[in-house]
Amino acid sequence: MNFDRALNALEYKSVIDLLVSKAITQGGKKICSELLPKTDISEVSILLENTDDAFRYILKGGEPPIAPVTDIVNSVKRAQSGGILSTAEFLEIAKVLKVTRNLCTYFEDYSFDSSLNEYISLLMPNKYLEEKIFSIILGVDEIADNASQTLFDIRRKIRITSQKIKDSLQKITHSPATQKYLQEPIVTVRSERYVIPVKAEYRSEIAGLVHDTSASGATLFIEPMSVVEANNDIKMLVQKEKDEIERILYELSAETATFEESIITNYESVIFIDYVFAKAKLAKKQNAVKPLLNNEGKIDLKKARHPLIDAKKVVPIDISLGIDYSTLVITGPNTGGKTVALKTLGILTLMAQSGLLIPAQDKSCISVFESVFADIGDEQSISQSLSTFSSHMTYIVEIVKAANSSSLVLFDELGAGTDPIEGAALAISILEYLANFGVKLVATTHYPELKLYALETKGVKNASCEFDIETLKPTYRLITGIPGRSNAFAIASRLGLEPSIIDKANEFISDENSRFEDVIDNLEKSRKKLESESQIAQKQREETDKMLINAKKLREELDEKARLEREKLQEELEILIQTSKEEIQRRIDELEQIRRKKDAKNFAENINKAKAKSSSTLSSLENSIPDIKQKSKQKPKLTRPLQIGDSVKLQNIDTPATVLELPDKNGKVLVQAGILKTRIKLEELTLIEEKKTSEKSTVTINKSLSSRSVSSELDIRGYNALEAEDEVLKFIDNAVVSGLQTVSIIHGKGTGVLRSAVHSMLKKNKCVRTFRLGVFGEGETGVTIVELR
């Protein structure tokens, strides 16, 4: 593998620096910083698949919940060896376990069949140990009182004894008999013992032990004899407290050691996932894609962009190599974009072989090379006291010896720095020599001899960077198939150089070179004409496609509307026919009953009545069918003029819609039904008058609130107190309606103004049971944890 010189020349480290900035953990940053191109196509394929799948996770669920964790491997191994871990070490272990648990939830919520599953499966949450550590250790060097009953009792005794001492000393400091001997009537601490400040000249007036003296010597800090025994008791209790804390940490260390393997595996998995997602986050920022891979030397980049150029300024280029030709010669004026095109191809190749997605269009193709050589710039010439030509030639000698059919070689201004005729001849010879060994080559030059060589040689292609003569600026577009021109005469003319001078200069150009430049000029004009015609044709095709899509969509909507109308009509007809049949059958049953009773007297009269009723029913049926058929043609009438915001119903469609704009000059109204906005004729709308049923609307609101997914966390960083009050009140109301018991409000640490405002609001809110500041792992003083009623 030979990439070292190319990594520097193509600014690979700058890309890696961008990658490192996307990682969150120190371990992840370290993996990113050590990333190098791989040469095995299978390995490269897996790396790219990992990055692409991480990108898909981000698109589905946002960035994963990774926090800045530190390396805990040595700490866990020390616990395994019988060592006692510090509170800080335990908190870092607990943080790793918390990140592990959060990542598991993230991957479960947005899971799909991905190449990352084997790494995700290594995550092993340990909520038991995580919660135990956080319950015992509240912060660095802060152990909870309830870490053990013994510790709780010791600290209670310390508090009681301390208070007794303070009370005793306060009686002394507030006594009129002793106040005149004191510098200040206060109780303070020296050498972990409670003392009072006594004026030096009254030392003999206060019986006790001197523990300290002020810098001036005017004050003595004396422990009165009345509290010496109590202070001794506190000292003993403090030692017991330290012993108990050490015992607690020892037991916790021993228990942590039993989970050594899973904790270390979790840490290693977290930093690896951080590294993979750093690549995905960089890809998202660069709008990058996963390239198609091959190991045949074929490169086909579409709309490729250099990753280190501002996305708003970079000009995408199309560049290919190794398909129809193995050597590409890029010509054109200096500062025209030749080197940028060369570097774009090189850096995207290195990125792909490192498992990074590339800033290009989908379906772009990259080859995996065993070695990449790039002769760009003069980084050796000064340090080695070599001329520009000697510096380049020294490296070219190395390239010629090392390059093979699996190599990509990039030359910037090949043959420059010496006599143009000899330099051009040497450049052609070098390209020809390397091409014979199957090397894939890209070279920039301004030598006309290389343009001609590319035109006449099979497997070699010309390309040029476009230059706008009108603006005298390069466009940085890469044009393949046409050699570049220096445009020296055209630029001089545009800048106002005397025409006679330009004419004279033309006389010094050989006829052959002049004709060659004319051919290039004609080719460029033809290319621009074809490109313009192609753009017009493309635009027309796009407009036609758009019209076809709209027409198809309209037809589908009309067909669906007609289908729904037919179904509704059919349903109404079936109901009517069934009702009529039942009525006729009932009349027939009545006739049958009359016949059986043989009521001769009323027989004729009842028969006539039954016939009349049946005839009436059938007549009703016949009259109803035409009415139903014409129903869809009736024009609904509005009870009043429309207003913006009115609820309306579209003809033959039950879905309600909202009026966005009043009728235009064509009598069409802009309405919105769901997410669809459309214009409908005024006569096809029916006004829906709102029903004033407050009870019903209340039920609907409650249902919508309860079914809504309410977050248990509110971030108000950056808000002022007034803005925060509205957000907090709304947040608390929604949380209560949704049945949440505990919520978090993130206000940040800052000056404490926002935190005070939030606490003031919470004290007044009847929905709040209690609240507290977060502990280590929850955000500490930057977060308030609220328990709701």
Q: Which residue has the tokens 């980049």?
A: 301
Position 636 pLDDT exceeds 90: no
| Tokens found for residue 649 | 């119903």
User: DSSP characters for 137-186?
Assistant: EEETTEE-GGG-HHHHHHHHHHHHHHHHHHHHHHHHHT-HHHHTTBSSS-
Q: Looking at residue 708, what is its pLDDT?
A: 46
State residue 328 phi and psi, 5-degree precision: -120, 125
Percent with pLDDT over 70 in the chain: 83
Q: H-helix or E-strand containing 548?
A: helix 511-597
pLDDT at position 512 over 50: no
Q: Using CA atoms, how far apart are residues 292 and 367, in angstroms rounded to an integer?
A: 8
Q: Residue 682's pLDDT band (boundaries 50, 70, 90)?
A: confident
**pLDDT score at 628:** 47
CB 294, CB 45: distance < 8 Å: no
> pLDDT class for 500, splitting at 50, 70, 90?
confident
Over 90: is that where the pLDDT of 306 sits? yes
- Backbone φ and ψ for 288, nearest 5 degrees, come out as -95, 165
User: Residue 60 pLDDT > 70, yes or no?
Assistant: yes
The predicted structure's pLDDT at residue 632? 46
Between 694 and 164, where is the model more confident? 164
CA angle 140, 142, 144 (to 5 degrees): 135
- Structure confidence at residue 597 (pLDDT): 61
| Beta-ladder partners of 440 | 408
Phi–psi pair at 106, nearest 5 degrees: -60, -50
Does the domain made of 148-238 have the CATH classification 3.40.50.150?
Answer: no
CATH class of 4-126+259-285: mainly alpha
**What architecture does CATH give domain 712-788?**
2-Layer Sandwich (3.30)
- C-alpha 249/C-alpha 92 separation (Å) is 14
Q: What's the CATH number of domain 292-489, 3.40.50.2300, 3.30.70.940, 3.40.50.1360, 3.40.50.300?
A: 3.40.50.300
Residue 720, pLDDT > 70, answer yes
Of 334-338, 669-673, 747-751, which range is least confident? 334-338
pLDDT for position 518: 52
Question: Which pLDDT belongs to residue 607?
Answer: 55
Burial of 417 (0-12, 13-18, 19+ CB in 10 A): middle
Output 385 or 401, whichever has higher pLDDT: 401
Residues 6+ away with beta carbon under 8 Å from 377:
9, 412
With helix as H, strand as E and coil as C, how does 198-248 read? EEHHHHHHCCEEEEEECCCCCEEEEEEHHHHHHHHHHHHHHHHHHHHHHHH
Q: How far is CA 489 from the centre of its chain?
A: 51
Distance, in Å, from the CA atom of 327 to the CA atom of 349, rounded to the nearest integer, reads 16
Q: Considering Cα of 376, then 381, then 386, then 387, what sign does the dihedral take?
A: positive
Task: Give CA–CA dist 748/784, Å, rounded.
Answer: 9
Determine the average pLDDT of the residues in 556-579.
80
pLDDT at 83: 95
**How far is residue 629's CA from residue 362's CA, in Å, rounded to a whole number?**
54
The first and second tokens of residue 351, run together, are: 């990125």
Give the pLDDT band (50/70/90) at residue 379.
very low
Q: Note the pLDDT of residue 766.
A: 84
Lowest pLDDT segment from 47-51, 106-110, 329-333, 774-778? 774-778
What is residue 703's predicted lDDT score, i.e. its pLDDT? 39
Which of 280, 172, 259, 288 has the alpha carbon at shortest distance from 222?
172
- Would you call 70 helix, strand, or coil by DSSP? coil
469-476: long-range pairs with CB below 8 Å, 24+: 469/494, 470/494, 474/332, 474/333, 474/335, 474/336, 474/337, 475/315, 475/337, 476/315, 476/317, 476/336, 476/337, 476/340
Fold match between domain 148-238 and domain 292-489 = no
Q: Which amino acid is at 167?
A: D
Mean pLDDT, residues 563-592 taken together? 77
Residue 34 has pLDDT above 70, yes or no: yes
690 vs 229, more confident:
229
Confidence band (pLDDT; 50, 70, 90) for 237?
A: very high
In 3-state terms, what secondary structure has residue 321?
Answer: strand
Of 145-159, 280-294, 621-635, 693-707, the least confident: 693-707
Domain ranges of the chain: 4-126+259-285, 148-238, 292-489, 531-631, 647-687, 712-788
Mean pLDDT of the chain: 84
* Tens-place pLDDT, residues 156-202: 999 999 999 999 999 988 888 888 889 899 999 998 899 999 999 88
Q: What is the mean pLDDT of residues 406-426?
A: 89
Higher-confidence residue: 662 or 52? Answer: 52
Which of the given ranges, 398-407, 703-712, 751-760, has the highest pLDDT on average? 398-407
What was the pLDDT predicted at 125? 96
Q: What pLDDT, on a 0 to 100 scale, did the predictor assign at position 623?
A: 54
The arithmetic mean of pLDDT across residues 697-708, rounded, is 40
Model pTM?
0.63
**CA–CA separation, 350 and 368 (whole Å):** 9
Comparing 132 with 612, the larger pLDDT belongs to 132
Q: How confident is the model at residue 475 (pLDDT cuts 50, 70, 90)?
A: confident
What are the beta bridge partners of residue 317?
304
* 619 has a pLDDT exceeding 70: no
pLDDT at 486: 63
More confident residue, 664 or 35: 35
**pLDDT given at position 408:** 97
Exposure string over 124-163, b if 16+ CB within 10 A, otherwise e: bbbeebbebbbebbbeeeebbeebbeebeebbebbeebbe
Contact, 682 vs 668, CB < 8 A?
yes
Residue 707's pLDDT band (cuts 50, 70, 90): very low
Tens-place pLDDT, residues 600-614: 445 555 555 655 555
* DSSP code for 438: T
Read off the pLDDT band of 387 (50, 70, 90). low
